[in-house]
Every structure is written in C-alpha cells, then in structure tokens.
Chains A and B, each alone.
Chain A
C-alpha cells in the first residue's frame, strides 16, 4: 500500500507530506515498526510537515532523529509545523554545550 507521508527516523515527532493533503484527512504514517494514524487539523502542502504528537511551547521539533528547531507555541497532533510555530535555535546557544 502507498503511504502519503513519511517519517524518516523513529524518534521523529513530525512527518512530511509526500503529496498535498487536506484538512480532516486521516493519514497513516509508518514510524519504524509501527503505523500511526493522524487526523490532520489543517491543509498540509506537499513537502510540508505535520505533528505526530502534541508538543508544548519550547519543545524540540524532531526530524531525522535530531532537533531541527523549537516550538514557539503549543502544537497539536495533526497540525501544520512550519515557520509560524517553529524557530531555529540561535548559533550561540547551539555552541554552548561544547
């Protein structure tokens, strides 16, 4: 069967739409060995991300198994995840741990 969204790493809390997906669509996403069904809360254009779980403000957004940014607001499962609710961590902060 064909999947219409992809999660790349088992740690990921977002998936990427492989085709444009409409609001209220129920999407099956295979995450490693399990398949989750997510109801979309907004339209997701092709190549854009949606949340696989609820996230709080300040939580890391995980793709490729790594934090690609942090939430600037509460994000619900199935919601569009993009520049309106995610920011990159500043360089200085990234380097702090080294």
Chain B
C-alpha cells in the first residue's frame, strides 16, 4: 500500500516534469549545492584557492580581474562575479578581498546577499594572508556543514534556466546534435522553463531570421543591434566574418550559404519565439527562449550564461571539448561517433545514432531532455568527474 502511494506520487511528479533540486530562500532552485569562495581581485586569488582546498562542497572561483577595469568593464566584472554568487547552485559565499581593489569585497557581498544567502568576507590587508586563510577556512567549513544538511526536493522543471552552447563543431553539429538539443529546448520551453541561446558572432548571416522570431519589433531591433556591434568590432580588428564564409572547406562539406551555417548553430535553441535580449551575465526576466549577447569564445560564453543564473548547460561538439563550469554541470553531447569513442571520458551523450539513421532527431531530443532532468537531480557529468572548473569573463576594453 505504502509502496503504491509512493509510486503514485512518483508518477504525479513525473507528469509535472520535476527534478530533485535544492530550494533557495529567494524562491529559486539549484541543481548543485556549493559554497563559493570568490576572490574579489586577482591579488587575493592565491589565498582564496588555499581557503577552498580540500573542503568538501567548497568551490574556488579563479577570478583574476576586479581591479584596473575601465568603462563598461567594471560593470561587466561586477555583474559576472555577483551572478556566480547569486546562482541558485550556490548555498553560501565567502569573498576574499585584498583591500585596495576597485571592486571591494563589501560591494560584491552586499549585492549577493540580496538573495538572502549567507555572505561573509575576509580581507588580506586587514590581517595578512595566513590569518585570512585560517579565518576563511573556518567560515567555509562551517558553511559547508550547513550546506550538507540541505536535502534535494522535487522542483518543477520550469525553474530551470538551461544554457545552450556549441564548440569544436563539425558537420555532425548542424545536422544532428544541435537539432536534437533544439528538441530538448522546445520541450523545456513547453514546460515553462527558460532556455538561453547566445554567442552573437555565430548569428551573423542569419540574424534576420532570428530577429523575425522575436516576440516584439523592439526585441528584433535589439538582436540586429547586438549583431551590428560584433560585426563593427571584428571589422575594426581586420576580420570581416561575412566575407569568406562559408569557407571553401564548409562549401566542400556541403554548406551552401552563411545562413545555413549560422542556422546550424542557432537551431540548438529550438523553434520558440524569442522573448528577450539580455546583456552578458544578466539574468533573464522572462520565461521561454531568451537571447544573451555573448562572445562565441567557449569559456567566456559559458561563464556569461552561468552568471546569468543557468543551473545547467548543454554543450554540443563535433571534434570534442572537455570544458566545464566550476558551479554548473555541463552535459557534453556529440553526434560524431569517432569523437565519442576517443573521448568517452569527456562525452556524456552519443547521438550519432541520428546520422546512422537508427534514431530520430525527436527521439534523441527526448533522451537529452531526460538527461537534463537526471543531471539536474544530481547525476554527475563527465566534466565534473574530471574536475573541470573553467571560468573566463568577457571584457571589452584594455585593463589599465
């Protein structure tokens, strides 16, 4: 009888499409439960790394900026670091400052504490490295002990913000893995979840098609504006993406136009209408498919989406890539069978079956959606098992 009720409850949960996550005080929910140790500046990086070392549940954020940024970079760096602290995968935060930096531990801490999370700081100039490390370790151990008491509970998948990314692409990406992820993106949007599409330089050539999918003319205009900015920057640096693309190699491989090449990348966001354009490392304010303006640089893009609140990321690749985020699981998906065989320790899913003709894109997409739920519920991904903790912020100007 008891078993029967449990089965029923389980069934009900499945119908609602939930995952087992960590509920946070601000109403959000995490797929992981870390205590984050953030150096507010590169100068306190060493101390912060020592503080987090060997403490189960603690994660160190390898930030080397926080001082010397000018113009909009100051805001970008602050938004990125604060975004990591605010991410629902984080339980509590320790900020390690040096003391004289532009972005003080106090300023960062106040912004992160708006979530209701416990945020503490230690400042090296107040006490020297050894004392800061020993005090920091005491605080982090205590935070981790509290974090370990929190248990997972059923959370609707509508709470998920899924980051989508592709890198090390080959012909299998546009034909199979990206369309399959697109199916999973559509499934999450149908459940009232959020999907982030990004990497603006990859839009070039198909930006008018993306803009046409915008919910309003204003959103369409924002999309074209972000693409124009990247195009101006790259032309100023001597590179015109529109010329020479698709490359002779692309054409030999069967790609006919730049639209086709770009759509192969964009299709991982699915077919929903675009609800919003957000700047780098900003949080979506809408549900559904949102667009974040990021570089195509894999780690800068990943960092931006996680800072924007992504608790989980899907990453398609053809050639293979090992990267992972310090605080969010990144599911690696390839449709290249050779890559899957060679890099089995890095790849989470093989969807080469689509190209063998033995699985439909829709079926592979369903499989990816299931994997998103499993990983959100705690199943570790390969990048986590290997200890990948990649972090790189996008900035625009020189550092002075």
Contacts and interface: CB of A to CB of B under 8 A. Distances in A.
A63 B263 contact: yes
Sort chain A's interface into a size bin.
Answer: 35 or more
A28 to B, nearest CB: 10
B256 A68 contact: yes
B356 interface: yes
A83 B355 contact: no
B76 interface: no
A82 B254 contact: yes
A86 B257 contact: yes
Given A8-B267, A8-B361, A98-B220, A69 B257 contact: yes
A89 B123 CA distance: 57
A4 B360 CA distance: 12
Given A66-B206, A67-B209, A95-B224, A88 B254 contact: no
Given A8-B267, A66-B263, A98-B211, A30 B360 contact: yes
A85 to B, nearest CB: 9
B271 A65 contact: yes
Interface string B194-230: 0000000000011111011000010011001000000
A97 B257 contact: no
Given A64-B267, A66-B209, A2 B257 contact: no
Contacts of A1: 357
A47 B263 contact: no
Contact of A88 (B175, B258, B360): B258
A68 B354 CA distance: 22
Interface string B349-379: 0000011111011000000000000000000
A17 B253 CA distance: 11
Contact of B208 (A6, A48, A87, A95): A95
A95 B341 CA distance: 44
A3 B254 contact: no
Contacts of A89: 259
Sort chain B's interface into a size bin.
Answer: 35 or more
Contacts of A49: 254, 256
B171 interface: yes
B357 A3 contact: yes
Nearest to B354: A6
Contacts of B361: 6, 8
Interface in B263-285: 263-264, 266-267, 271
B259 A66 contact: yes
Interface in A49-88: 49, 61, 63-69, 81-83, 86-88
B253 A68 contact: no
B193 interface: no
Nearest to B258: A88
B329 to A, nearest CB: 27
A98 B259 contact: no
B224 A98 contact: yes
Contacts of A64: 179, 260, 263-264, 266-267
Interface of A: 1-4, 6, 8-9, 16-18, 30, 45-49, 61, 63-69, 81-83, 86-89, 91, 94-95, 97-98
Given A6-B355, A64-B260, A64-B263, 4 more contacts: A6-B176, A64-B266, A87-B257, A98-B211
